[in-house]
């Protein structure tokens, strides 16, 4: 079949909207009509050329929602008409990682996914001249129709709006999951969130759900403050107005009883390795945990004095918020539909596919939280 897609033709170039060929689903695969997709900072990261795994030409996008149109041989868990959210972290329930119950990082198709290919080592997308176009993160939601492995779709309820729940395909689940699954934040905790964008705001609402007492937000952009307060931030620091962010956080978290100070938990949602260091070093001696969510460019490394870890701080990372997609994503859709979590205010812009590059411009200008493309 033919479908319209935004194609990343080369690093640093705007996406090109064009008709492409899409081959039907092979065994174990499903054809999905994407109804809506968010634009995540990770799409920008790959398009910019900073991603060591970035390959071109490719169809980016990994934060979608849509409807199953056709299933390949042997597919049993979804059928045409089912509403689904594509999963860049699949859940096969059979690989060593899934069976370990220690990680959400299913490894069954990771190698081909990183090469922009379906599990059989080929692409379903091609130009009208027949040249292959690569998949991205196994999802390619910047195409109106796409093919995914069955193990990489979460079936969700049919009354949930596509233009909101697409965000659960990455940002919402990543932010809330980092708090609940990875950090396991407890009631009364003091936490710091670095970067108050599409991920950071979801960390904030995760912290509010978990019952944190003090929620400090850090961002270079003062305009992020009102929305962050709406999602539970209790204190704001702009590093531009402060000599030493780490010391400021230590001071804020001190009490008459605890003169050491430091956050119980911190979260990096910037992808900046200097910020990651501050995020670790502002946590409490003896028990502070810092969770890296941000994705850093090729070649970037994190550093700190080992003494920071010797004295009990823990550095952790999280992908997709530690969520097991087929199991957890339908529950998060229920949380949204039941009003336990909010999504609507974070979707600041809704665009047509033809205007998708505007979504990247808005992100660069710091004017959007999430832009969503509706097909
Ligand atoms: P975003 O652009 O919406 O937000 C980033 C925020 O960080 C902005 O508000 C910006 O002003 C702020 N910021 C930038 N530099 C800063 C600094 N030095 N100090 C303080 N604030 C700073 O991006 P997003 O969609 O929220 O994504 C955030 C990061 O998370 C990206 O690196 C993205 O690739 C990554 N990410 C990771 C996962 C995962 O599974 N680990 C999932 C989604 C996104
Ligand atoms: N390809 C990059 C790493 C990108 C990355 O870390 N991706 C996250 C999801 S970001 C979603 O917005 C992830 O899931 N990582 C686990 C994995 O297996 O990719 C690089 O540095 O090579
Ligand atoms: Zn993402």
Per-residue model confidence as pLDDT tens digits over 318-345 = 999 999 999 999 999 999 999 999 999 9
CB distance 72 to 27 below 8 Å: yes
Q: Are residues 242 and 149 in the same domain?
A: no
Report the number of distinct structural domains present in the chain: 2
Confidence at residue 342, expressed as pLDDT on a 0 to 100 scale: 98
Peptide bond connecting 57 to the previous residue in cis, omega within 30 degrees of 0: yes
Marked catalytic residue, from 29, 46, 62, 139: 62
Q: Are residues 157 and 270 in the same domain?
A: no
Confidence at residue 180, expressed as pLDDT on a 0 to 100 scale: 98
pLDDT band at 121 (very low <50, low <70, confident <90, very high): very high
Tell me, yes or no, whether 108 lies in a domain.
yes
| Closest protein CA for atom 29 of ligand 1 | 294
Q: Are residues 114 and 50 in the same domain?
A: yes
Confidence at residue 116, expressed as pLDDT on a 0 to 100 scale: 98
Q: Are residues 286 and 197 in the same domain?
A: yes
pLDDT band at 143 (very low <50, low <70, confident <90, very high): very high
- What average pLDDT score do residues 181-204 get? 98
Q: With a threshold of 0.85, tell me whether the complex ipTM lies above it.
A: yes
Q: What CA–CA distances, in Å, run from 374 to 85, 190, 267, 352, 371? A: 14, 38, 30, 6, 10
Residues 196 and 227: their CA atoms lie apart, in Å, by 9
Q: Are residues 116 and 189 in the same domain?
A: no
Whether 98 is a known active-site residue: answer yes
Tell me, yes or no, whether 325 lies in a domain.
no
Half-sphere exposure of 79 (CA within 13 A, CB side): 1
For 303, the domain range is 175-319
Confidence at residue 97, expressed as pLDDT on a 0 to 100 scale: 98
Q: Which residue, among 138, 125, 39, 106, has the nearest Cα to 356 in the 3D structure? A: 39
Tell how far the Cα of 320 is from the centroid of ligand 2, in angstroms. Answer: 9
Q: Are residues 65 and 153 in the same domain?
A: yes
What percent of the residues of the chain are helix, what percent strand, and what percent coil, each to the nearest 5? 30, 25, 45
Whether 40 is a known active-site residue: answer yes
In tens, the pLDDT along 46-76 reads: 999 999 999 999 999 999 999 999 999 999 9
Tell me, yes or no, whether 313 lies in a domain.
yes
pLDDT band at 232 (very low <50, low <70, confident <90, very high): very high
Whether 95 is a known active-site residue: answer yes
In tens, the pLDDT along 258-311 reads: 999 999 999 999 999 999 999 999 999 999 999 999 999 999 999 999 999 999
User: Which CATH number fits the domain that encloses residue 302?
Assistant: 3.40.50.720
Tell me, yes or no, whether 331 lies in a domain.
no
Confidence at residue 139, expressed as pLDDT on a 0 to 100 scale: 98
User: Which CATH number fits the domain that encloses residue 49?
Assistant: 3.90.180.10
DSSP letter string over 135-175? -STTT-TTBSEEEEEGGGEEEE-TTS-HHHHGGGGTHHHHH
**In sequence order, which residues have a C-beta less than 8 Å from that of residue 256 and are 6 or more positions away?**
none
Whether 157 is a known active-site residue: answer no
Whether 166 is a known active-site residue: answer no
Tell me, yes or no, whether 116 lies in a domain.
yes
In tens, the pLDDT along 82-114 reads: 999 999 999 999 999 999 999 999 999 999 999
Q: What CA–CA distances, in Å, run from 17 to 127, 354, 359? A: 12, 6, 14
The per-residue pLDDT of the chain, averaged, comes to 98
- The whole model's pTM is what? 0.98
User: What is the position in ligand 1's atom list of the atom closest to the CA of 199?
Assistant: 26
Strands 153-156 and 265-268: unpaired
Q: Are residues 368 and 292 in the same domain?
A: no
Residues 171 and 150: their CA atoms lie apart, in Å, by 22
| Angle (CA) 227 231 234, round 5° | 95
Please choose from 88, 140, 195, 370 the residue to mutate so as to test ligand 2's pocket, defined by most ligand atoms within 8 A of CB: 88
pLDDT band at 247 (very low <50, low <70, confident <90, very high): very high
- What average pLDDT score do residues 158-183 get? 98
| Closest protein CA for atom 15 of ligand 1 | 270
> Strand pairing partners for 218?
194, 237
Confidence at residue 91, expressed as pLDDT on a 0 to 100 scale: 98
> Strand pairing partners for 143?
5
Marked catalytic residue, from 41, 135, 284, 326: 41
Confidence at residue 65, expressed as pLDDT on a 0 to 100 scale: 98
Tell me, yes or no, whether 54 lies in a domain.
yes
């Amino acid at each position: 079949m033919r479908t319209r897609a935004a194609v990343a033709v080369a690093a640093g170039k705007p996406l090109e909207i064009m008709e492409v060929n899409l081959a039907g689903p092979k065994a174990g695969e499903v054809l999905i009509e994407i109804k809506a997709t968010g634009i995540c900072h990770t799409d920008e990261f790959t398009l910019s050329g900073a991603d060591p795994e970035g390959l071109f030409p490719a169809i980016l996008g990994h934060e979608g929602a849509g409807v199953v149109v056709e299933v390949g041989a042997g597919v049993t868990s979804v059928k045409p008409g089912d509403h689904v959210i594509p999963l860049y972290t699949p859940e096969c329930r059979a690989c060593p990682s899934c069976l370990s119950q220690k990680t959400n990082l299913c490894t069954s198709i990771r190698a081909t996914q990183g090469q922009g290919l379906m599990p059989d080592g080929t692409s379903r997308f091609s130009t009208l001249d027949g040249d292959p176009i690569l998949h991205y993160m196994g999802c390619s939601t910047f195409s109106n129709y796409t093919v995914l492995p069955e193990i990489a779709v979460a079936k969700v309820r049919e009354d949930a709006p596509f233009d909101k729940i697409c965000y659960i395909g990455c940002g919402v689940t990543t932010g809330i999951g980092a708090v609940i699954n990875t950090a396991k934040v407890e009631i009364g905790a003091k936490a710091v969130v670095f970067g108050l964008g599409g991920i950071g705001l979801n960390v904030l609402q995760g912290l509010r759900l978990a019952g944190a007492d003090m929620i400090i937000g850090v961002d270079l952009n003062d305009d992020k403050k009102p929305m962050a307060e709406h999602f539970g931030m209790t204190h704001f620091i702009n590093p531009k107005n402060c000599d030493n962010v780490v010391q400021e956080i230590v001071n804020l978290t001190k009490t008459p009883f605890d003169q050491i100070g430091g956050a119980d938990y911190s979260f990096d949602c910037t992808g900046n390795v200097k910020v990651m260091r501050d995020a670790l070093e502002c946590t409490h001696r003896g028990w502070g945990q810092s969770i890296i969510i941000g994705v850093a460019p090729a070649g970037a490394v994190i550093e700190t004095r080992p003494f920071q870890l010797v004295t009990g701080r823990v550095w952790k990372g999280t992908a997709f918020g530690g969520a097991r997609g087929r199991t957890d994503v339908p529950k998060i859709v229920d949380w949204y539909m039941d009003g336990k979590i909010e999504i609507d205010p974070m979707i600041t812009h809704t665009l047509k596919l033809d205007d998708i590059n505007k979504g990247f411009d808005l992100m660069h200008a710091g004017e959007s939280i999430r832009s969503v493309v509706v097909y």
